[in-house]
Amino acid sequence: MYLEEETSKKSEVISCIFSLKEGVGALAKGLRLFEEKGINLTHIESRPSRMNNDQFEFFINVDASCSQALDEVIDSLRTQISGHVHELTRNKQKDTVPWFPNDIQDLDRFANQILSYGSELDSDHPGFTDAVYRTRRKEFADIAYNYRHGQVIPRVEYTAEEKATWGTVFKELKTLYPTHACREHNRVFPLLEQYCGYRQDNIPQLEDVSRFLQSCTGFRLRPVAGLLSSRDFLAGLAFRVFHSTQYIRHASKPTYTPEPDICHELLGHVPLFADSSFAQFSQEIGLASLAAPDEFIEKLATVYWFTVEFGLCKQGSEVKAYGAGLLSSFGELQYCLSDQPKILPFDPDKTSLQKYPITEYQPVYFVAESFEDAKERVRKFAATIPRPFTVRYNAYTQSIEVLDNRQQLRNLADSINSEMDKLCEALKKLDEV
C-alpha cells in the first residue's frame, strides 16, 4: 500500500494503493476490513499489479478523518489476507523523513498518483463538452498509465486536426525565438528539427526526443497521465527524468491551454534539457526536494515555477526567456519582455515566497544572472532545508546515494579524487601543446 496524504487542507484525503492476490472474493474481503472500521472510501480504481502478474492493485481515496482506523486496516491486510502493504508518507510528524525514491525504477511507484486522469476535465476546459476529445485524452492517459521504466514509449498516430493545432503553435512561436528566447534554446532547436522531427506538419514522438536528450545530458522523458504532486514531480528531476504529457490542447483554442500539453513540453521544456548547465540546474532542484519537509516542497515548487517554467536570464546586455511556460506561449513570450510586468533579481529566499497566478500572465518575473549563478543560489538555498543527511545522484547506478556515514563519504572522496586526477592530467597536456 502506498500512502500519500495531500498537503492541501481543502482535500483532507489520503490516497492509497494496496495489492491483493487474484482470487474469488479477494477484493470483497479487503473492502470488508475498511467497512468494519467505518472508513469512508471516496474513490476506488483497479488495475493489474505492476510487480506481480497474479495480483491486482486497488487505488482508493480515504477520508483523512479515518487515519487512525486506517492503521488497523493496514495491519489486517498484512496478517489476515497477505495483502502487499507499503507506507510512504502519512501523518507526517516533525521528526519523520518523508519517503523518496532511491532507484530510478521507484518512479513507477508514484507515476500514476495523479491529480486528474484522462477525460476528467474541468468545466471551463475548452474540450469539456467535446466527447471525441475526452475519449482521445483517455487514450493518451492509458498509454502513460501502463508505462513502466525501461520500456519504449509507445508511438502515437496523431490526427490531422492534432497536427494542425501543433502547426499553428509551432509556426507562431518559431518567429519569436530568435529575438526572445535564450541562446541555449536557440542553439538546440535546430538540432531537434534535424534529429527529432520538429516540423510544422509533424508532432515529434516522445521516444525519439527522449533518446536525443539522453545522448545530450542524460535527461529522459516519461509519459504521464496527468498532473503529479509537486513532491513527486520534483523527485523525477533528481533522476533527470521529466514527466511529460503526450496529448495536445483542444483545437478550438490552439494558442491557449489550461494545463501542460505536448506543445508546452516539447517546445518549452525539451530544448533546455539538452543544455548541460540547465540540466544540472533542474536536477539540483529535484535533489533538494528529496526528503524535504512539506513546507519546503512548496517553496521549491515556487522556485521551480519562477525558473524552469517562467524564468528570465541575462545574456549580455539583454534579458531573454528560458522558462518553458514562456517559450510555449506566443502571447506571454512577448509580454514578459515588455515594460508591463515587474522584473526582480532571482533570489531563492525571496522567490520561494512569491505568490503567483496560474491562469493569467505573471505580474512578476525573476531574472537570473546566468544558469550557473542560479544553480549556485539554489544549492545554497537547498542547504537550509532541514534533513538529517545529504544526497547525491549516482549516474552509473541511476540511484540516490544517502551520504549519512563515513563509508559513503570515503566513496565520494575517492570518486572526486579520480575526477581531479583526470582534470590535472588534461590541464598538463594542454600546457604541453
pLDDT digits (tens, 9 = 90+) for 128-141: 777 888 888 888 88
What value does the mean pLDDT take over residues 279-296? 90
Read off the pLDDT band of 270 (50, 70, 90): very high
What value does the mean pLDDT take over residues 301-327? 92
Answer yes or no: are the C-beta atoms of 431 and 136 closer than 8 Å: no
pLDDT of residue 358: 82
Residue 83: pLDDT over 70: no
pLDDT of residue 12: 59
pLDDT of residue 56: 75
Residue 3: pLDDT over 70: no
Residue 282: pLDDT over 70: yes
CA dihedral sign of residues 91, 96, 102, 104 = positive
DSSP state of 360: S
319 DSSP β-pair partners: 314
pLDDT of residue 345: 95
DSSP state of 66: G
> What is the residue whose three cell numbers read 517562467?
310
Residue 5: pLDDT over 70: no
Which residue out of 328, 329, 332, 352 is catalytically annotated? 328
pLDDT of residue 432: 79
Q: pLDDT of 13-69, one tens digit each? A: 676 767 777 777 777 887 888 888 888 777 777 766 655 667 777 777 777 677 677
Express as a percent the part of the chain with pLDDT over 90.
42
74 vs 93, more confident: 74
Read off the pLDDT band of 8 (50, 70, 90): very low
286 vs 87, more confident: 286
CA-CA distance, 16 to 67, in Å (whole number)? 11
Report which secondary-structure segment, H or E, holds 137. helix 131-145
- Per the annotation, the verdict on 172 as an active-site residue is no
- Per the annotation, the verdict on 43 as an active-site residue is no
16 DSSP β-pair partners: 3, 60
- Per the annotation, the verdict on 309 as an active-site residue is yes
Which residue out of 264, 265, 282, 329 is catalytically annotated? 264
- Per the annotation, the verdict on 5 as an active-site residue is no
Which residue out of 57, 284, 309, 332 is catalytically annotated? 309
What's the CA angle centered on 309, arms 191 and 195, to 5 degrees? 15
Q: pLDDT of 194-221, one tens digit each? A: 999 999 999 999 999 999 999 999 999 9
pLDDT of residue 209: 97
Read off the pLDDT band of 116 (50, 70, 90): low
Residue 74: pLDDT over 60: yes
Q: What are phi and psi of 147, to 5 degrees?
A: -80, 145
pLDDT mean across residues, the chain: 84
Q: What are phi and psi of 364, to 5 degrees?
A: -135, 135
21 DSSP β-pair partners: 55
Which residue out of 269, 282, 332, 352 is catalytically annotated? 269
pLDDT of residue 123: 66
Read off the pLDDT band of 159 (50, 70, 90): very high
